[in-house]
Structure 1
């Protein structure tokens, strides 16, 4: 048989036989591109639980910081309004006390 006399069906059949033989021969050697990972469910649950605990702990810290900041702002506002606190923040030297007394008498 000449190659001209081979029909299209015979060519396809020969190619399919070559594919089948090469798969038999090399299929055991070639590994698949994407291997299925072995998933440990207990380990995954533990990691998720640890992650959730970490998130909750950080959320609690942020809430405590917000509360402390609000308390500090409240204290600062009270100190700004406090007359005694203003007097205590002034320097307590004799010269300054005399200068304050003179200013009070002049006004």
Structure 2
């Protein structure tokens, strides 16, 4: 079976901006993991000011700008490149974020 990956952007329960990269390895499930980036609401406002949009419009704006397809699986190399490109934008904008990796059990 293939290894597939997805990139998702939206808000978590606390209202913080969340970017997620998930990789699923069907042959070796223990290698499946999620890279999670959380941008505090106040930091996310920095991104909204750059493009003059509201906070609620930010996930859709980023998805459109970077071509994130909702719930669309892709090759891991494509998904990680997209994930890194978005993180690069956060960094170049001076946005602070929390980064976590969680392996599936």
Greater relative contact order (Cα < 8 A, sep 6+): 2
Q: When the two structures are superposed, what TM-score results if normalisation uses the length of structure 2?
A: 0.21
Q: When the two structures are superposed, what TM-score results if normalisation uses the length of structure 1?
A: 0.21
Q: Please state which structure has a larger fraction of its residues in helix.
A: 1
Q: Please state which structure has a larger fraction of its residues in strand.
A: 2
| Greater radius of gyration (CA) | 1
